[in-house]
Structures are given as C-alpha cells and as structure tokens.
Amino acid sequence: MAETKKKIFLLSLGCAKNLVDSENILGILSSHGYPIAEDIDDADIGIINTCGFLQSAVKEAINAILEMIDIKKRGGLAKVIVTGCLVQRYGYKLKRGMPEVDGWIGTGELDKIAALVESTDTNAPFFIGRPEFIADHELPRVQTTPFYSAYIKIAEGCFHRCTYCTIPALRGPLRSRPLESIVLEAKAMRDRGVKEINLIAQDTTVYGVDLGIDNGLERLLEELIPIQGIEWIRVLYSHPNEIRDLFLQLMDREEKIAPYLDLPLQHASKRILKAMAREIKGETPYELIERVRSYKRGLSIRTTMMVGFPGETDEAFQELYDFVKKVEFDHLGTFIYSPEPGTHAARLKGIPDKKVSKKRRDSIMSLQARISLKKNRGMINKTIPVLIEGFSKETELLLSGRSIRMAPDVDTQVLINSGEGMIGEIQDVLITEAHSYDLVGEIV
Ligand code: SF4
C-alpha cells in the first residue's frame, strides 16, 4: 500500500523573486506527490523560504523560524525546513544556532528540496553552494498569485555592485533564462487564464547580456507581445543606467506593454549616488526623467529612494527633496539606509542620526502623498480599464482592482462602489473620487 505523503506548508518571505522560488519549491514537491496545506495547522512539514538582504528581513525570518520550531516542539509539525537568502547569507552559523531545524537549502540548491523532505538523516542536511542555478519552464511550479496575474523571473543574480547591497553575494552572478523558455512559460500561463505577466529579475534591463543577446529585454518583449490572451506585460526592477530608447519606444508603441517604468533611483545627489555606486552614466537624474517623459503615451514612473546614507548632509537631502518635488513621481517608496555587514557601504563613516533619517523619510513621504493626491484628482471623470481583483481588503461593499499603471503588491488600487465586476476581467471604470493613494469609481 502506497505511503501517505506528508502535507507541506510553505511560508514565503521577501520579494517577488523569492515568491517564484517558493512556487517552484511547491511545484517540485507536488510533482513528488506531496499535498500542499493552505494552513500550517493542517501540515506535517513546515518550510520557510526566507529573505535575508536587510537586517529587518533577517529578524523577520528568524522570528518565523522560531515560531515554526515552537509548533514542532508542541507536536504540530514533524519537520521544519529553511531555504532562501538567510541560509545563503549566514550558512552554518544558523545550523549551530537552531539545531531544531531539520534541513537547510541555500538560494542555488532549490532542486534539492524533495531529497531534503524525504531525507531520514537526523543530522539536518545542509545544501549550500555558489548560486548558479536558474529555474526554467520545465521546473514544476505552483502559482500562488491570483489566477489572472503571475510573475516570470527572466534572470537571476546581479553584476552591479551597489555599495549597500548584499544581493550579489546571496544570489550570485547574472544568469538569464533562454528566451524560448520564458516564452513557453508565458504561453503555459496564458493557457491557465493568466492575463497579466510581470517580468522580474534583480535588473530586468540587462536581461540576456550574459547570453550575448543585444537589447535582450526588447527582444524578449517582441516575442511576448504576439501571445494572444496575455493582455498586460509589465517590466519591474529596471536599472537607471540601462534605460535604452529602444525600450521606451516599445513601451510607447505597444498597448500590451504597461506604460510603467519601475526605476529605483535611490537618490538625486551626485555625491551620494557616487558613494552608492549608482551614478547614472551620461545624464543626470533630471535628464533621464525628461527622456522618459518625452514619450507621448505618458509613461508612469515608480521609484524608490534611500535616505540616511553615509555622508547625507542637509544639503544632499534637500537636493533629493527638491528632485522629488519637481519630478512628481506616480509611485514612490522611501527607505532608511540599513548598514549591512559585509557590504562596502557598511565601512563608510558619517551615517546621519536615526531620528534625522526618520524625519527625512517622513517628509519625503508626506510630500509624495500630496503629489499623489493632486495626480489622482486629475483622474476624476476619466474612464480607465481596470483589472478586477475581488473584494477590497477593507470591506465587501467595495470591489478593488488595478489599472495598467499600478503594479501588484506594491502600488495603489481602484476601489469600485457600483457596477458588476468579474474577477480577473479588465473592465472600464469611471473615476468619481480621488484619495491620496487610491482612486474610487464605478464600472461602466
Ligand atoms: S542592482 Fe544594485 S541594488 Fe539591485 S540587486 Fe544589483 S547590486 Fe543590489
């Protein structure tokens, strides 16, 4: 009689790239016959796919592991397995510190997960190595995002060396997936009802460089556009140094490509950008934005800014503040610099006082709230296509959705207070109200 397979629960922490790894882990285990539990109370084996690139993420991961160990001690789980960036970053130190964990996998060893789950070795097997692995369309995957929207990781790793970043050490060198593999995955997604594809990597704009493909991202988009049934294609995680006119022209010309540039600039002061090793070659941040905004379709720009970097004086911060005020981004997030052991920036002196950094972050975000409200007011009485996502998190009296200028999980939403909405459908919505971040409207 076949042995009943243990039920698996997976907690996925961190970014969308890590979520894709989690979906592959679930895919591999499902293909080995392991049922997936939606709730940890129904599971026999608990897996945490961790993030570890910032101290705050490290803390969150360790707390999650300790919680799962606690459930195991109370007999609620037979095994606890930890995977991902935290494992890659701290390696065997973790094993010594948490002997209750039954197995460990680094970022480059995902394909070892079934062997680890099946292992009877009580000495907590540890799979870690130089990250060289990249999943392709043949690796099984369980989509955990809503049926109509999915992420495709087009490359892994990074060859940039931003001085504050641990990711190259955690994820290894840039390695792009073969173009055909991405196209096949997109078609498979379309076949199961996906309408929106979000392309992700550490830096999508250098896709294909390691494979010797010139303008690889544009070539890939040209291959994805003709796929019938895929309505929206969004490119996330671009790099300010790699914004080619060819890419902008494609975004301007092709309706299917979201007119949405995810452009993490991090700062506007030349001196700070230099210290971050994120200087933009051949143009200033203002000139780059001007170039992006010169296209008639009107491209939306999302950015992230970092305050509190070593050497950030009042003048340097004022430069950033004035830049955000003048540019008026469509979406903006601001983070306080976190000195990460092992990075070049962690050795730099002159970190502003934490209180000062918090004040700077808050002043940028309250400025952005005013900018966003002004922009949203400009949308009133306009009718826009909205991807209906379901009931709003706040109340079942409202539906919520996103326009093509809003990315999943990070941006704002359109709240819908009248009309019949079909989840996963793109329907026209007349905007009737504007808030700092969200829009309100009715289906027409
Ligand atoms: S581009 Fe810079 S910030 Fe982004 S992953 Fe690479 S090194 Fe890190």
Q: Which atom of ligand 1 is nearest to the CA of 239?
A: 1
DSSP 288-321: HHHHHHTSTT--EEEEEEEES-TT--HHHHHHHH
Residue at 116 is within a domain: yes
Residue at 144 is within a domain: no
Which of 175, 200, 203, 303 for a ligand 1 pocket mutation test, highest count of atoms within 8 Å of Cβ?
Answer: 203
Same domain, 358 and 251: yes
SS3 of 99, please? coil
Supply the pTM of this predicted model: 0.96
Same domain, 435 and 315: no
Same domain, 47 and 164: no
Both tokens assigned to 286: 């203002």
User: What pLDDT score was predicted for residue 1?
Assistant: 57
User: What pLDDT score was predicted for residue 123?
Assistant: 87
Same domain, 186 and 323: yes
Distance 280 CA to ligand 1 centre (A): 14
Which residue, 127, 159, 178, sits at the end of a domain?
127
CATH value at residue 15: 3.40.50.12160
Residue at 132 is within a domain: no
Parent domain of 436: 383-443
Same domain, 394 and 296: no
Residues of the chain with pLDDT under 50: none
User: What pLDDT score was predicted for residue 5?
Assistant: 85
Residues touching ligand 1 (Cβ under 6 Å) are 158, 160, 162, 165, 167-168, 202-203, 239
Same domain, 238 and 321: yes
Residue at 43 is within a domain: yes
User: What pLDDT score was predicted for residue 2?
Assistant: 64
Q: Which atom of ligand 1 is nearest to the CA of 203?
A: 1
Same domain, 199 and 112: no
Residue at 136 is within a domain: no
Q: Which atom of ligand 1 is nearest to the CA of 168?
A: 7
Size (the chain), residues: 444
**Residue 80, exposed/middle/buried by CB under 10 A (0-12, 13-18, 19+)?**
buried
Q: Which residue has the tokens 């143009």?
A: 283
Same domain, 263 and 353: yes
Same domain, 371 and 388: no
User: What pLDDT score was predicted for residue 29?
Assistant: 98
Which of 158, 204, 239, 304 for a ligand 1 pocket mutation test, highest count of atoms within 8 Å of Cβ?
Answer: 158
Residue at 135 is within a domain: no
Nearest-CA residue for ligand 1 atom 4 is 202
Residue at 143 is within a domain: no
**Residue 277, exposed/middle/buried by CB under 10 A (0-12, 13-18, 19+)?**
middle
User: What pLDDT score was predicted for residue 124?
Assistant: 84
Question: How many CA atoms within 13 Å lie on the side-chain side of 146?
Answer: 15
Same domain, 229 and 367: yes
User: What pLDDT score was predicted for residue 49?
Assistant: 98
Distance 226 CA to ligand 1 centre (A): 31
Q: For the chain, how many structural domains are there in total? A: 3
Residue at 251 is within a domain: yes
Give the span between the Cα atoms of 171 and 88, in whole angstroms.
Answer: 8
Nearest-CA residue for ligand 1 atom 1 is 160
CATH value at residue 417: 2.40.50.140
Same domain, 177 and 102: no
Same domain, 352 and 215: yes
CATH value at residue 236: 3.80.30.20
